[in-house]
Amino acid sequence: MVDERPSRAALRGNLPPLALHVPEPRFRPGDRVDYSWLDIPEAGALPRFDEACEARETWPATLGMIRVLDEEHRAVGGWDPRLEPETLRRMLHTMALTRAFDDRMYRGQRQGKTSFYMKCTGEEAISVACAYALAGDDMVFPSYRQQGILIARGFPLVEMVNQIYSNRADRLKGRQLPIMYSARDYGFFTISGNLATQLPQAVGWAMASAIKGDTRIATGFVGEGSSAEGDFHAAMTFAAVYNAPVVLNVVNNQWAISSFSGFAGAERSTFAARAAGYGIAGLRVDGNDALAVYAATRWAANRARANQGPTLIEHFTYRAEGHSTSDDPAAYRSAHEREEWPLGDPVMRLARHLIQLGEWDDARHAAMDREVAEEVKAAAKEAEKNGVLGHGFHHPFHTMFEDVFEELPWNLREQAEQAIRERVTKWPERAGGNDGKGNTGGAA
Tens of pLDDT, residue by residue over 186-237, are 999 999 988 899 999 999 999 999 999 999 999 999 999 999 999 999 999 9
**Per the domain annotation, does 10 fall within a domain?**
no
Buried b (16+ CB within 10 A) or exposed e, 332-349: ebbebbbeebebbbbbeb
**Per the domain annotation, does 189 fall within a domain?**
yes
Q: Quick one: pLDDT at residue 399?
A: 84
Q: Helix H segments across 111-187?
A: 124-133, 147-152, 157-165
Residues 116 and 151 in one domain: yes
Residues 375 and 401 in one domain: no
Cα–Cα distance measured from residue 31 to residue 134, given in angstroms and rounded to the nearest whole number: 41
Of 63-67, 72-76, 175-179, 274-278, the one with minimum mean pLDDT is 175-179
Residues 199 and 308 in one domain: yes
Q: Quick one: pLDDT at residue 147?
A: 98
Range of the domain at 88: 55-384
Which of 384, 406, 424 corresponds to the end of one domain? 384
- pLDDT above 90 covers a percentage of the chain that reads 84
Residues 244 and 359 in one domain: yes
Residues 60 and 53 sit within 8 Å (Cβ to Cβ): no
**Per the domain annotation, does 13 fall within a domain?**
no
Residues 137 and 270 in one domain: yes
Of 190, 208, 74, 93, give the one whose Cα is nearest residue 141: 190
**Per the domain annotation, does 19 fall within a domain?**
no
**Per the domain annotation, does 351 fall within a domain?**
yes
Cα–Cα distance measured from residue 35 to residue 33, given in angstroms and rounded to the nearest whole number: 6
The vertex-413 CA angle with 412 and 419, nearest 5°, equals: 85
Using the Cα atoms of residue 416, residue 419, residue 424 and residue 430 in order, give the sign of their dihedral: negative
Secondary structure percentages of the chain, helix, strand, coil, to 5: 45, 10, 50
Which of 384, 408, 426 corresponds to the end of one domain? 384
Position 1 pLDDT exceeds 60: yes
What mean pLDDT, rounded, does the chain reach?
93
Q: For residue range 288-306, list pLDDT tens digits in order.
A: 999 999 999 999 999 999 9
Position 8 pLDDT exceeds 80: no
Q: For residue range 354-397, list pLDDT tens digits in order.
A: 999 999 999 999 999 999 999 999 999 999 999 998 877 778 77
Q: Quick one: pLDDT at residue 118?
A: 97
Q: How confident is the model at residue 400 (pLDDT cuts 50, 70, 90)?
A: confident
Q: Quick one: pLDDT at residue 10?
A: 67
Please state the domain count of the chain. Answer: 2
Of 137-146, 287-296, 401-410, the one with minimum mean pLDDT is 401-410
Position 418, amino acid: Q
Residues 115 and 174 in one domain: yes
Q: How confident is the model at residue 319 (pLDDT cuts 50, 70, 90)?
A: very high
Q: Quick one: pLDDT at residue 430?
A: 67
What integer is the mean pLDDT of 312-337? 96
**Per the domain annotation, does 34 fall within a domain?**
no
Residues 326 and 202 in one domain: yes
Position 181 pLDDT exceeds 60: yes
Q: For residue range 64-111, list pLDDT tens digits in order.
A: 999 999 999 999 999 999 999 999 999 999 999 999 999 999 999 999
Q: Quick one: pLDDT at residue 324?
A: 95
Cα–Cα distance measured from residue 160 to residue 147, given in angstroms and rounded to the nearest whole number: 9
Q: What is the pTM of this model?
A: 0.92
Residues 347 and 413 in one domain: no
Q: Quick one: pLDDT at residue 385?
A: 96
**Per the domain annotation, does 61 fall within a domain?**
yes
Q: Quick one: pLDDT at residue 431?
A: 63
Residues 104 and 174 in one domain: yes
Classify residue 93 as exposed, middle or buried by CB count within 10 Å of its CB (0-12, 13-18, 19+): middle
Domain CATH for 219: 3.40.50.970
Q: How far is CA 368 from CA 120, 149, 327, in A?
A: 19, 19, 30
Q: Quick one: pLDDT at residue 2?
A: 67
Q: For residue range 350-360, list pLDDT tens digits in order.
A: 999 999 999 99
Q: How confident is the model at residue 12 (pLDDT cuts 50, 70, 90)?
A: confident
Residues 151 and 259 in one domain: yes
**Per the domain annotation, does 375 fall within a domain?**
yes
Cα–Cα distance measured from residue 282 to residue 225, given in angstroms and rounded to the nearest whole number: 18
Residues 278 and 406 in one domain: no
Residues 221 and 316 in one domain: yes
Q: For residue range 115-137, list pLDDT tens digits in order.
A: 999 999 999 999 999 999 999 99
Q: How confident is the model at residue 440 (pLDDT cuts 50, 70, 90)?
A: very low
Cα–Cα distance measured from residue 151 to residue 372, given in angstroms and rounded to the nearest whole number: 12
